[in-house]
Chain A
Amino acid sequence: MKRLLFILYVLLPAAFLSGCGASLAADRHDVERLLLIQTMGLDSRGDGVEMSVSTGLGAEDAPALVMSAPASGIEDAIARLQNYSPENQLFYAHVQYLLLGEEAARRELGHVIEWVDRSPTLRMDTNMLVVRGSARDAVVDTSEQSTDITQRLESMDRQARSTGWTVYTLREIAAALAEGNGALCLTIGTAPTDGNVFTEEMGSDAVVPVGYAMLGQEGLVDFLSPEESLGAEIITGDPTGLLITVAGSTLEILDCSVSVVPRFAPDGQPSGAHIRCTLQAGMLEKARDGAMNPEEMDAALSRTVSRWVSDALARSQAAGCDCLGIRDAVLTSSRDMALWEERWPELFPGLSLSAAVEGQVDRSYDLAQ
């Protein structure tokens, strides 16, 4: 009898370990009832937010479910969105893209990072993009019967990465901001396809990268122009594959090495930095009005990229947002790193930053000598 009671005692906990009891695991849901949210957009609306979500295309090309809800906060928005889908459970563990509208990027960035840290489902490695305008428009206007925002973003993501742009994750942005630096975030815009796409999907908007946003401790600081974004990409990222237009010719960056040389005043205080960049580009398409000779092309490449890099540095400095990694390069070379680290925000705007680019154009065999 004792033995039997003991076996029952041992088996008792098993009844609680299956994880299927609704009372024990209230957030348990059947897989077939889950709606996997793949793209989440956030906008600022007065004192609250508006959240827009898309589930991505379902099985057998079932159309994506696209919803939007204004609310007082993110969790409130999630609760409201759930009300729109009483039959199914919205599931946020597989969100691939987090879109922040301009205003949300300005006001809600820190809040979003904190929220993801607390969230039991969302990942810090979710790709983050800033939308020119409203995230709601991007989520809603790009979705239709046979395609949706996630599919468009995936396509844009592949294209952007293969052409040298960097899609940053929330983790990378949060890490840079936590270290006291600024951060870059790829900005997307929507472009109408009317008149260009002649199929039944005609009418919805396409998603295109339009450059980088500069993010500071408080949120979005400013947008870099497309050319400044190219300069920023060359300094900070891996620009291999980046397509650039120089003197009417289209070049693809094949290799790029960047070194940041800090400069110090006699008292040891950081006084500036010089960015040296060696660039190798391949010619993809010659200028229609006749290409320059190889030496002229090299010089034009150096001049053009040097201007982009200098402009990006100047914009970042003017905005007081060190999103190009100058701080790390300067401070790690300093003997009094900790001392200057504290004073960096006041030092940065006054630093003398310069750039020199040495470019070389390959595939130039058919250029006139």
Chain B
Amino acid sequence: MKEDRVTRKQFAALILVSQLSPLLRLLPQTAVSFSGRAAWLSAVPALLPAALLRLGMESWRRYMRPGEGMGGLLLRWLGPVAGRAVLALYALWFLVYGGFILRSGAERLVSTIYPSSGQGMFAAVTIALCLVVALGPLRAAARTAVIMRTVLLAALGAVLILSVPNMDAKRLLPIGWREAASALPGALPLASVCGVGGCFVFLSGYAEEPKNARWFLGHILLLLALGGAICAAVVSVFGSALAATLTYPFFIMIRSISLGDLVPRIEAVVIAVWVGADFMLCSMLLRCAHEAIRAIFRLPDPDELPMTSLGGGRFLLWLEAAAVFAASLFFEKPPWELRLWSDRYIPLASDCVLYGGFLLLWLVTIPRRKKEKSKG
């Protein structure tokens, strides 16, 4: 079906860049409020659920027909009615989540950098750019993600290195059994961040077949190491008690970095990280929603039509972008309430839909999988 497929490396970059959005939104404040000074260890227990989710996703992949994707698989396994209902639910979630990403990204940018500006304009410009990405072929987005991954990881790495003079390792210690145990609840936000990668199973039909199921392990380890490093850096700079009370501790840490008199402030770097990651995640959620809707209406592959074409159901992408923008208006809430959505409701809903939903689907489809296995 797709001759010029997204390579596994590009696909991994696409997932990683998108996951940086919830990573930077949730960390370190949620992990620190759950785990205190042991937040930097939360990455260890988060590895298990993250790896299991991805392993489950990869196991599904084996049952997909060439170029089929998750949508087609669910329709085949659950039947046209139940399959369509499940796909509609997932599409709805992707659109709502995309709306939330738009709004929370705009709020963060406005409250930290442009206090006199409106959030609506940021949201409108971002969704317009996301629509351009979603209209284009996925491989173009994936190639962009490879470049963005390098830039974003370099920026984050530079920030962590430049923060070293302000760090005090004593703030990370001592870690006894009690503190080690308290790292467990801090794993929840990290596992939630990793769970966002689950959305990409809807796009896996566009990607190359993996040689084995272990390809994603390095990518998960990198993401968790990054999460652990961000928590460690912030806790060692502010202490866990202060980090838990600050609004955006990672950003405040970056605001204090200067390269002597040459570059007194480098906040622009983190803005690039925030905006880039939010933009990529929102674009991909738009695309995932379209994949689910495409399967429901059995529409052709959007990558096989010109970018400007509205045929083959591509006009739906415009409507989906409008729906994401409309969803972002729903999240037009006071900052304290948006924070509550950001830290609690959205991660919880995301975990239910991705971890819970996939687990349920996995259980429901056991007989079907056994049947397909016996067929060979």
Q: Which residues of A contact B (CB under 8 A)?
A: 2-3, 5-6, 9-10, 12-13, 16-17, 24-27, 93-94, 117-118, 120, 123-125, 171, 174-176, 178-180, 328, 332, 337-338
Contact = CB atoms under 8 A, between A and B. Distances in A.
A94 B264 contact: yes
Contacts of A93: 265
A337 B256 contact: no
Contacts of B116: 25-27
A176 B170 CA distance: 13
Contact of A12 (B128, B174, B241, B255): B128
Interface stretch (B61-69, B144-152, B217-225, B244-252): B244-252
A3 B308 CA distance: 7
B125 A178 contact: no
A117 B176 CA distance: 31
Contacts of A176: 239
A25 B241 contact: no
A336 to B, nearest CB: 10
B241 A16 contact: no
26 contacts: A3-B308, A6-B307, A13-B129, A16-B121, A25-B116, A25-B117, A93-B265, A94-B264, A118-B247, A120-B112, A120-B115, A123-B256, A124-B252, A124-B256, A125-B166, A171-B238, A174-B242, A175-B239, A175-B241, A175-B242, A178-B241, A178-B242, A178-B245, A179-B242, A180-B241, A332-B173
Interface in B91-150: 111-117, 121, 125, 128-129, 132
Contact of B255 (A5, A124, A338): A124
Contacts of B252: 117, 124
B322 to A, nearest CB: 15
A24 B117 contact: yes
Interface string B253-277: 0011000000011000000000000
Contacts of B174: 332
Given A120-B113, A175-B171, 18 more contacts: A3-B308, A6-B308, A13-B125, A16-B121, A24-B117, A24-B121, A25-B116, A27-B115, A27-B116, A117-B252, A120-B115, A123-B255, A123-B256, A171-B237, A175-B241, A178-B238, A178-B241, A180-B241
B239 A178 contact: yes
A117 B246 contact: yes
A-B complex: 10 closest residue pairs judged by Cβ atoms: A125-B256, A178-B241, A26-B116, A178-B242, A175-B239, A27-B116, A175-B242, A179-B241, A6-B308, A2-B308
Contacts of B242: 171, 174-175, 178-179
A3 B307 CA distance: 10
Nearest to A333: B174
A258 to B, nearest CB: 14
Contacts of B171: 175
A240 to B, nearest CB: 18
Interface string B327-364: 00000000000000000000000000000000000000
Contacts of B111: 120
B178 interface: yes
Contacts of B114: 25, 27, 120
Interface residues of B, number: 35
Contacts of A25: 114, 116-117
A279 to B, nearest CB: 22
A246 B143 CA distance: 70
B279 to A, nearest CB: 11
Interface of B: 111-117, 121, 125, 128-129, 132, 166, 170-171, 173-174, 176, 178, 237-242, 245-247, 252, 255-256, 264-265, 307-308
Contacts of A338: 178
Contacts of A3: 308
A328 B174 CA distance: 10
Nearest to A125: B256
B235 to A, nearest CB: 10
A13 B239 contact: no
Given A16-B125, A124-B255, A124-B256, A175 B238 contact: yes
Nearest to B132: A10
B271 to A, nearest CB: 11
A12 B128 CA distance: 9
B278 to A, nearest CB: 15
B336 to A, nearest CB: 12
Contacts of B238: 124, 171, 174-175, 178
Contacts of B113: 120
A124 B252 CA distance: 7
Nearest to A94: B264
A116 to B, nearest CB: 9
B112 to A, nearest CB: 6
A154 to B, nearest CB: 12
A338 B245 CA distance: 20
A179 B132 CA distance: 48
Nearest to B170: A328
A12 B307 CA distance: 17
A37 to B, nearest CB: 14
A148 B350 CA distance: 56
B309 to A, nearest CB: 9
A13 B166 CA distance: 39
A93 B265 CA distance: 9
Nearest to B126: A13
Contacts of A120: 111-115
B175 to A, nearest CB: 11
B253 to A, nearest CB: 8
A328 B264 CA distance: 34
A2 B310 CA distance: 11
A174 B265 CA distance: 21
A294 to B, nearest CB: 36
A27 B238 CA distance: 29
A26 B241 contact: no
A125 B255 CA distance: 9
